Amino acid sequence: MNIASKSLMKSSLTAFFAGISCLAVAPVVRAQSNVTLYGVIDASVRYTSNVKGANGVGDTYAMTSGGIQGSRWGIKGVEDLGDGTKAMFTLESGFVPSDGTFDQQGQLFGRQAWVGLANPTWGRLLFGRIYGIPFGLLSDFDALGIGNYIENAYLPRIIGVRYDNTVDYSISRGAFTVELQHGFGNQAGSTAVGSTNAIGLTFNQAGLEIGVLAHQSRDVASRKLTIIGGGAKYDFGPATVYAMYLNARRDAGFSPGSSVGQPLANTSLLANTNTVLGSGTQTAARVDAYVSLGMTYRFSPAWTLSAGAMMDNVRNLNGGDSGKIRTTYALVDYALSKRTDVYATVDRNWLSGGSVTDPNSPIFTFGGRSTRTGAGLGMRHRF
């Protein structure tokens, strides 16, 4: 790159970030419009047992991303169009706090990137990169809100997290909300390849929330991932209890794309391609039957305990082989302020049957071992 090109690039980047700063802090020209800069930084120091590395299988002590939320910064805006109608947008970028690199496959706005309209009568319509219905709906029924360590948050690899090229419509009536999604495959010659369709229904009233969903995605060869599931939570006094169940079936050979633009790329979905030995082609449909129970208890405005257990019962890891992933966890959180908290967390995992060496495991493998223990101390700040 010559000096002129470097100078132009530097000037363009300077103008871009200057524009963001102006949007975030400058007075709004029109009273009915606003733009907000927001974010989360969550980092921790963590001990993990039975990690496979260059020197074999052993323990690690490392600085990692936090255990509660993925770190991110974002820009969101709302414009009042009159008669209750609003235009909205969100651009959200994930990053790794320990080294400052981009998260979500290196995408600038890999967490969210959408624009939409909302009206209290007609509902909400969004276009862009959006959280999938399974992740968005089921996160309400997990005591950690689906945490951020793989050891206590492997559910996203079973159901996926975000989907590109997606249209999302939702509408609420009283205590009920219905949400519909269609993700375009954007593949020439086929409207089915790479596409996703989903529906979710929730009921939320008087401290009780219940939700159910159905979802189907197709990979580059129209092999299907089909998910059905649901959950519930109930608030009573200082406590909240959570329950969730889902069934996810992947056709043999199901394989999300590995880079931007490929079918189901950037969804975080696990594949069903190899056998348990990793040396052959999978010929059977994989079925994950996942169940979790959890609770949170608020001892005071500052102190909160979260704890739970989850299990993934898996069929057809290698032909007729089956396996299990079992997990327990606990997290104690102390709020220093409304925006800043510190926490301590511990978790324990057990693998059995074919899950010990499953190359497509949502929790990965433990270097041939059947157990893993993790513990972390972390801090989170929201702005």
The CATH code of the domain that includes 238 is 2.40.160.10
What percent of the chain lies above the pLDDT cut of 90? 84
Q: What is the pLDDT of residues 333-380, one digit of tens each?
A: 999 999 999 999 999 999 999 999 999 999 999 999 999 999 999 999
Q: With contact defined as beta carbons under 8 Å apart, do 184 and 129 qualify? A: no
Q: Residue 8: inside a domain, yes or no?
A: no
Q: Which of 12-21, 106-115, 136-145, 327-336 has the lowest mean pLDDT?
A: 12-21
Q: How far apart are CA 194 and CA 149, in angstroms?
A: 28
Q: Which of 23-32, 243-252, 300-309, 374-383 has the lowest mean pLDDT?
A: 23-32
Q: Residue 18: inside a domain, yes or no?
A: no
Strand blocks (E) in 206-267: 208-218, 224-236, 239-250
Q: Residue 271: inside a domain, yes or no?
A: yes
pLDDT band at 2 (very low <50, low <70, confident <90, very high): very low
Give the per-residue pLDDT at 279: 66
Range of the domain at 350: 33-382
Give the per-residue pLDDT at 368: 92
Sequence-distant (≥ 6) Cβ neighbours of residue 11 within 8 angstroms: none
C-alpha dihedral over 222, 224, 225, 229, to 10 degrees?
130
pLDDT band at 195 (very low <50, low <70, confident <90, very high): very high
Q: Residue 22: inside a domain, yes or no?
A: no
Q: Residue 125: inside a domain, yes or no?
A: yes
Residues in the chain: 383
Q: Residue 11: inside a domain, yes or no?
A: no
**Total number of domains in the chain:** 1
Give the per-residue pLDDT at 353: 94
Q: With contact defined as beta carbons under 8 Å apart, do 185 and 192 qualify? A: yes
Q: Residue 134: inside a domain, yes or no?
A: yes
Coil, strand or helix at 188: coil
Q: What is the pLDDT of residues 295-311, one digit of tens each?
A: 999 999 999 999 999 99
Q: Residue 168: inside a domain, yes or no?
A: yes
Q: Which residue has the higher pLDDT, 258 or 382?
A: 382
Q: With contact defined as beta carbons under 8 Å apart, do 182 and 163 qualify? A: no
